[in-house]
């Protein structure tokens, strides 16, 4: 089974609740050519932009199209990709998770601290703590009915505060022991592919199977399309929402742990603004912020596009890293406007 077919077997056009859903309508004979073009652009537009940017950069900057540079870009992108995987599922349900940046940093510090007792504690401690934060988010949102924005904003502050408390206001940096096998998780490679890349691809493949080939995945789209309709259909809306926030916390913690293994330390200042990068990657990849539609393949292309932009700015040299936010923000605005235009085209076609 190909990775692309798992991540996006029928396109990013997601099934929505109701009589047959929109996907079912498109599958029918009544789908117009205009609708097909709009769907294709939303599904693969970011990939076309990514390929165009890579092609131009390869001609302009000879150092860009090198194997070492490609490895560096993809390894750097793999951490954001893992975080964005969980964010994609959250946004498909119509939610948002602002806590992932702080949880990512907290996971890294906990992993570095626990690595003194071996690989297993270095992975389990951050997963348990970060998973608990994600589960708490899910309970407050799905069971108590609080707004995702407020709940995850509180978790952002809480996780960052816990991180500072553990590190004595950042004065203490936990280091991974030099002889620890845990460091191999972030620094090792197979055939030139770093472990972080392979882990990210494996998680995306598993996420694609869950999203596209299981009833749980289809329920995510249904909940994001219309939670009221999903309730009337008898779907476990609260349980699904709780689960996606739990997964988001777990994935952010895992990404932080792998990053700590790569850096051989738990860095307290990382992860600031990472939640916005993850949201930008997901939206640029074609997932609708209102929920109900999206794909993991689009998220993967969105993450790579942001990573390539960052690398290009580094290649230019005369621009500082702040311009990455300017360019990423510009892409985000263009994508959101394009999504509104494509949605209008579908309705009027």
Share of the chain above pLDDT 70, in %: 84
| 15: pLDDT strictly greater than 80 | no
Answer yes or no: is pLDDT of 74 > 90.
yes
Residue 324 has pLDDT above 60, yes or no: yes
Convert the pLDDT of each residue in 193-245 to its tens digit.
899 999 999 999 999 999 989 999 999 999 999 989 999 998 999 999 999 99
What pLDDT score was predicted for residue 343? Answer: 67
Report which of residues 324 and 271 the model is more confident about.
271
State the pLDDT at residue 61: 85
Position 156 scores a pLDDT of 95
Report the 3 state secondary structure along 55-99.
HHHHHHCCCCCCHHHHHHHHHHHHHHHHHHHHHHHHHHCCCCCCC
114-147: per-residue pLDDT in tens?
999 999 999 999 999 999 999 999 999 999 999 9
Check residue 7 and give its pLDDT. 62
pLDDT at 30 over 50: yes
Residue range 271-291: average pLDDT?
A: 90
Average pLDDT, the chain: 86
Which has the higher per-residue pLDDT, 152 or 39? 152
Domains by residue range for the chain, with CATH:
61-346 (1.10.3470)
Q: What percent of the chain has pLDDT over 90?
A: 52
Q: What is the 3-state secondary structure (H, E, C) of the chain?
A: CCHHHHHCCCCCCCCCCCCCHHHHHHHCCCCCHHHHHHHHHHHHHHHHHHHHHHHHHHHHCCCCCCHHHHHHHHHHHHHHHHHHHHHHHHHHCCCCCCCHHHHHHHHHHHHHHHHHHCHHHHHHHHHHHHHHHHHHHHHHHHHCCCCHHHHHHHHHHHHHHHHHHHCCCCCCCCECCCCCCHHHHHHCEECCEEHHHHHHHHHHHHHHHHHHHCHHHHHHHHHHHCHHHHHHCCCCHHHHHHHHHHHHHHHHHHHHHHHHHHHCECCCCCCCCHHHHHHHHHHHCCCCCCCCCCCHHHHHHHHHHHHHHHHHHHHHCCCCCHHHHHHHHHHHHHHHHHHHHHHHHHHHC
């Amino acid at each position: 089974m190909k990775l692309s077919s798992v991540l996006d077997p029928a396109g990013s056009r997601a099934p929505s609740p109701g009589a047959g859903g929109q996907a079912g309508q498109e599958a029918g004979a009544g789908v117009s050519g205009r609708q097909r073009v709009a769907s294709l652009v939303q599904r693969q537009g970011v990939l076309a932009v990514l390929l165009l940017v890579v092609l131009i950069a390869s001609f302009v900057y000879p150092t860009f199209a090198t194997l070492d540079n490609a490895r560096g870009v993809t390894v750097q992108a793999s951490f954001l990709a893992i975080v964005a995987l969980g964010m994609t599922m959250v946004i498909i349900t119509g939610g948002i998770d602002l806590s992932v940046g702080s949880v990512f940093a907290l996971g890294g510090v906990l992993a570095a601290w626990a690595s003194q007792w071996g690989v297993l504690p270095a992975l389990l401690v951050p997963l348990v703590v970060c998973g608990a934060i994600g589960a708490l988010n899910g309970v407050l949102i799905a069971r108590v009915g609080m707004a995702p924005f407020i709940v995850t904003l509180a978790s952002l502050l809480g996780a960052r505060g816990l991180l500072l408390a553990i590190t004595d206001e950042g004065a203490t940096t936990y280091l991974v022991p030099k002889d620890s096998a845990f460091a191999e998780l972030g620094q090792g490679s197979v055939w030139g592919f770093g472990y972080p890349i392979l882990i990210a691809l494996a998680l995306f493949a598993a996420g694609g199977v869950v999203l596209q080939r299981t009833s749980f995945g289809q329920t995510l789209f249904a909940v994001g399309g219309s939670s009221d309709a999903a309730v009337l259909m008898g779907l476990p809306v609260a349980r699904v929402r709780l689960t996606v926030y739990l997964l988001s916390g777990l994935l952010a913690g895992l990404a932080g742990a792998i990053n700590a293994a790569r850096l051989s330390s738990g860095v307290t200042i990382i992860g600031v603004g990472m939640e916005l990068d993850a949201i930008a990657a997901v939206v640029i990849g074609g997932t609708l912020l209102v929920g109900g539609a999206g794909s993991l393949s689009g998220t993967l292309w969105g993450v790579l596009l942001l990573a390539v932009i960052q690398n290009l700015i580094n290649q230019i040299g005369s621009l500082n890293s702040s311009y990455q936010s300017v360019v990423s923000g510009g892409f985000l605005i263009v994508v959101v406007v394009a999504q509104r235009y494509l949605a209008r085209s579908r309705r009027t076609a």
